[in-house]
Every structure is written in structure tokens, then in C-alpha cells.
Structure 1
Amino acid sequence: RGQVGLSIKELRKFPHLQGKLTILNLHNVIDSMEAFAANLKSKEHIEELVLQWGEQTVDHQTDKNVLDVLQPSINMKKLTIGYYGGKSFPSWLGDSSFSNMVYLTISNCEYCLTLPPLGQLSSLKDLRIDGMRILKSIGPEFYGMVGEGSSSSCQPFPSLQNLQFKNMSSWKKWLPFEGSNFPFPCLQTLRDVHGKACIVNTQI
């Protein structure tokens, strides 16, 4: 697709990038190997990453392939994903190895049917989910309790303080956690789909 500016594969020339990296117009990337060449995983000094597609995204599989290979370093502290057009999130998003991540925003990823398994991000304090318009329910996958290696004795979202849901027009059901440890032990603020703040008392 037409593009203006630096090609994503050119990022391989900058192995010592640090601080914040913003990558825009990812809908222009049609070959996931170009994204793979950026080698974000090796850039250990980037602490904040913004990955942004465009509103005109129509190629679900290409977007999925691109995000799959844009896995950042496990040193990442802040991550924002916007206008991603895939129908599911990559396996790395929510992996417990990202133990330094404290802030995560998923915005206008409106083709995804489920949330990624974010409950095992041990340091995550602020989570914002906006514009997942076809998501209908939140279940065990959100807590990271699905699949091999999952354990009901783990406590999901052990550090989360702020949780916001916004513009979730199809969301109707939130299934409770069935493990032995209550999730969200540090939660202070929950904002619902209407953006109205409520304080959650976790002292049960």
C-alpha cells in the first residue's frame, strides 16, 4: 500500500532505541516479514510502545500476522494498541513474561471477539479497553485461566488499580472468576461502558 515516511523494516537499523516508540499507519504494512525485520523484541530499552493501524483496516489476516511479529521486549512498561483489525490477539499479549508492564490500552480493536489473557500480567496497574464493539462476553480467557499451564490457584490481576471499559456496545455478560483467589485485590476504580466511575470494595 502507499506509504510516506520510514518503512517499518528500517527500524532494524536502530538497535539502541530507548524511551517511547510510536508506529503509525500499520495498515500500510502488507508483508508481515517487513514487520518481523523491525525486530522489536530485541530493543530492550524501549519502555513505551504505541502500535496504531488506521480506521480503514479491512485485511484481518494481514493485521493479525503483523501484530504477531511485533512482539516487544519483555522490558516494556507501557503498551497501546489502536485500530488493530485482526479478529484475535497474538499469544504474546498477556504472557506472564511481561512482568514489567504497568499500563495497557486496547483501543478500537473492533473486530476481536475476545479479550487477551491479561490476568497474569503481574505488575499491570492501569488497563483501558475501548471500542471492542462486537465483544459480547468476558470469561475465563480474560483472567488467563484457559489452556495448558493455567492454575485456578493463581490470582488474576494482582496489581491492577484502575480498569476502564468504554464503547462496548455489544457487551452483555461478565462471567465471574472461579478460582480460589479473588481477582483484582488492589482494584480502586472501575469505569463501566458508560464511563461512570465506581469504586470497588474488595474487602469481602
Structure 2
Amino acid sequence: MMPLGISELKSLQTLSNKVVVVENNALFISWLRNLKNLRAEISIDGLQQLQSARDIQEVNLSEKRVSELHMKWSDVFDDSRNENLEKDVMDALKPHSDNLKDLVIESYGGKVFPNWIGDPSFFRLTNVRIEKCGNCMFLPPLGELPSLKKLVIQELKEVKVMGSEFLGTGIAFP
């Protein structure tokens, strides 16, 4: 939890600790929206609670210098999950490509990943972990990431084939 009034520090650039959001996404959104120059590691838990991707678009991570992004949904895959909404939320959480080094996606409920996952413009992205994405049928083109050094893929039970779309058109792993 961040101290009250921290969003008033509009020129705040760096937080020494990871920003972790659990349960109260509305507070997070209003807090983070105003911090335009922020450099941070961000972990968002409870994304399944969002009712609309517009709720999280206000954060505009593409304008912030996020070095690590951890996105987590509930690990319960039932009828309450909306795969299109979850894809829209992940699209809305697209960070700025110049800064991201670590990406973790946990319990995402979509069948496919947004186009930005695996985009070679994320040239500093070295670590990717994708786990417990129970509905995912296809992997993103992670072979397109020019600096990828560590890749962890766990518990993607619906992925049956890993074809050329996973490698993309560039060289895989430097």
C-alpha cells in the first residue's frame, strides 16, 4: 500500500520498492494515473476484478518507465471469466517498450495473447515467465524478442503445438 497523498507528487520518478496492487484496483488506478514520470517495478494482482479495460487504460503504462511488469488474474477458471475482457485489459497494460526487462503473466484467461507480447520493439526484455494460463491455445512469438535470455512457460495445458509462430520470423534467442 502506498502512503496517502503520494499521487500528488506529480514529478515522482523512482520508487525503491515494487508497486504491488492487491484487490483494490480502483485506488491503484487513481494513484498511478497522475505519476507521469514514474520508473518502477509494478505487480498487479486481482485483474479479474476489472469490469472494463477502460478502468486500467487511465494508468497509461506506455508513458511510464516500467522495468518489470507482473500481471496476475485469479487462478480459478470458471464461467465468470471473460477472455475478451482479459485480452483487452492486457492490451491496456502495454508498457513502454524501451524499459521493460522482466514480464510475468500469471493465470491469464484469454486464448491468445495481445500482439505486443513478443513484439521485437521490446528490445530490453530479457526475462519472460508465462504460467497457469489455462485457456491459452497459442504462444506469442517470443522468438522475436532480440534480448530474451530466460523463458519460463508452465501450466499452459491447452497449448498443443508449438510451431513457427512461436519463433516468429527473426532469430530466436541471441
CA RMSD of superposed structures (Å): 1.5
The answer as to 2:5 corresponding to 1:5 is: no
Match of 1:16 in 2: 37
Is the Cα–Cα contact under 8 Å of residues 125 and 147 in structure 2 kept in the other structure? yes
TM-score (norm 2): 0.79
Q: What 5-or-longer segments of structure 1 have no aligned partner?
A: 146-153, 159-204
Gaps of 5+ in 2: 1-21
Q: Are the counterparts in 1 of residues 46 and 72 from structure 2 also a CA contact under 8 Å?
A: yes
The answer to whether the aligner puts 1:79 opposite 2:103 as a matched pair is yes
Q: Secondary structure at the match of 2:144?
A: coil
Alignment of 1:1-204 (within 5 A): 4-7=23-26, 8-10=28-30, 11-44=32-65, 46-57=66-77, 58-74=81-97, 75-145=99-169, 154-158=170-174
**Deviation string, structure 1 residues 111-137 (Cα, Å, up to 9, x no partner):** 111100011111110000011011101
Q: Aligned partners of 1:83, 1:116: CA distance in 2, in Å?
A: 15
Aligned residues between the structures: 147
Q: TM-score, normalised by structure 1?
A: 0.68
User: Could you tell me how far apart the structure 1 residues matched to 2:76 and 2:165 are?
Assistant: 28
User: Which 4+ stretches in 1 moved above 3 angstroms?
Assistant: none
Within 1, Cα distance between the matches of 2:127 and 2:76? 26
SS of 1:68's equivalent in the other structure is helix
Measured in 2, the distance between the counterparts of 1:4 and 1:99 equals: 32
Which amino acid letter does the alignment assign opposite residue 121 of structure 2?
S
SS in 2 for 1:137: coil
Work out the CA distance in 2 between the residues paired with 1:117 and 1:4. 31
Q: Deviations over 1:70-126 (max 9, x none)?
A: 101111000101000111100000000000001110011111111000111111100
* In 2: Cα distance, 1:32 partner to 1:127 partner: 27
Identify if the C-alpha distance between structure 1 residues 122 and 4 changes in structure 2 by more than 3 Å, giving closer, same or farther: closer
Instruction: Name the aligned partner's letter for residue 52 of structure 1.
Output: K
1:131-157 Cα deviation digits (max 9, x unpaired)? 101110100110013xxxxxxxx4222
Once residues 12 and 127 of structure 1 are traced to their aligned partners in structure 2, the CA distance between those partners, rounded to angstroms, is 31
1: distance between equivalents of 2:168 and 2:86?
23
Structure 1 pair 109/102, CA: closer, same or farther in 2 (3 Å)?
Answer: same
Rounded Cα–Cα distance in structure 1 between residues aligned with 2:168 and 2:57: 26
Residues 143 and 157 of structure 1 are in contact (CA less than 8 Å); yes or no, is this contact kept in structure 2?
A: no
Greater relative contact order (Cα 8 A, min sep 6): structure 1 or 2? 2
* Conservation of the 8 A alpha-carbon contact between 2:100 and 2:125: yes
Structure with the greater alpha carbon radius of gyration: 1
Percent same amino acid among aligned pairs? 35
Provide the C-alpha distance between the structure 2 equivalents of 1:55 and 1:135, rounded to a whole number of angstroms: 17
